[in-house]
Structure 1
């Protein structure tokens, strides 16, 4: 557990403004890329209201789900209990800038790990790669840019390409295999409910098993 930070206060406040922020559905790329994998231990970084963790638990994974927001974690735990998978998920509160879950995992998932604050994303993803067990997978999905409806862009925010994410991981030669490095488009509703096209990117890599 870590002390409350400004980022934690921001996310607690955001989650407190509504009974539900996200759709309640697991991320599409996670479902597509993980379906067919042999279930094991999974780490869900930035789990929010728990949809990905719950989906993984339903597939047979034992999940450690992490978020900075206590409000989100409490909500996610309730959803997991309602789904009947509470026993397969451990909820942990971390500010990933300063603490990281212990252990190694067969799957480490970082879905849209972006923040309005000063989050050291590259450092966090390097820690995520270090937590992947031999033969395991790191799956990183992120936005490729701001949504079309958002015009007040923060000049310091950079959305890295999959190649930039891979380079920033500083992986040892010969120890990893790139399974997917790609951009893709999806439909997302704007604040008025109008469907718009959004571009995201995916990096999926496997740690070679010795």
Structure 2
């Protein structure tokens, strides 16, 4: 898997651009209290760093993880250019020992490369790694994306539905769960009409 992503990221430009994901940027108000406190934040499969860097610019203490050493090096250069600090780490999300109750915020943007059994494991680890009262932000593609063909996995079982996310994060406070279609422009890899699903949820405080 890391070799596949190394090859995709081995290019002069940034595959998904250098600006934050649009959904993530729209959540600035939800993130503000955590940013003011320098909240510990995990950016899952953060690639070349565009989202982790934006989160750091909001005052968050960001741990940016990815499987690709090529992407991580590009993230380091972009963070340096933007004058922010990221803790960068190469990890395999399937075998990584996720820390328990460590993060105030966890962000996963288009992290749909795992098959359903491994995705369920990852979602369980996300639940474990969030601190009580912590915030989860997820954006992914819904099944109609396969018809649109403008990015994301071709395997429909890798995509999100509202029922799937309700079940995975049962017991969380759902602040937003929305499926919709929109035009996106995120580098050359995510571009055009897209079937999206957004989740903002908070882990119970107790």
Does residue 148 (structure 1) correspond to residue 148 (structure 2)? The answer is yes
Which secondary structure state, in structure 1, belongs to the residue aligned with residue 95 of structure 2?
coil
Q: Which has the higher contact order (CA 8 A, sep 6+)?
A: 2
- The residue that corresponds to 1:31 in the other structure is 25
- State the Cα RMSD in Å: 2.8
> Which SS does the other structure have where 2:146 is aligned?
coil
Q: 1:166 Cα shift?
A: 2.5
Shift of residue 101 of structure 1? 4.2
Conservation of the 8 A alpha-carbon contact between 1:94 and 1:100: no
**CA 1:108–1:120: 2 relative to 1, 3 Å:** same
Residue 80 of structure 1: aligned partner = 79
Q: What's the offset of the Cα at 1:148?
A: 1.9
Structure 2: distance between partners of 1:186 and 1:156:
19
1:53-202 matches, within 5 Å, as 53-86=52-85, 89-102=86-99, 104-115=102-113, 120-144=118-142, 145-146=145-146, 148-149=148-149, 154=154, 157-169=157-169, 171=170, 173=171, 176-188=172-184, 196-202=192-198
Number of paired residues? 196
Preserved CA contact (<8 Å) 1:166 1:203: no
Give CA-to-partner distance per residue, 1:78-119, whole Å, 9 cap, x none. Answer: 100111102xx1001111011144351111011100227788
- Structure 1 runs of 4+ with >3 Å offset: 116-119, 153-158, 188-193
Q: Which runs of 5+ in 2 are unaligned?
A: none
Pair 1:107–1:11, CA change in 2 (3 A): same
Secondary structure at the aligned position of 1:22 is classed as coil
Following superposition, the deviation at residue 196 of structure 1 comes to 3.5
Q: SS state of the match for residue 35, structure 1?
A: helix
**Which one has a bigger Cα radius of gyration?**
1
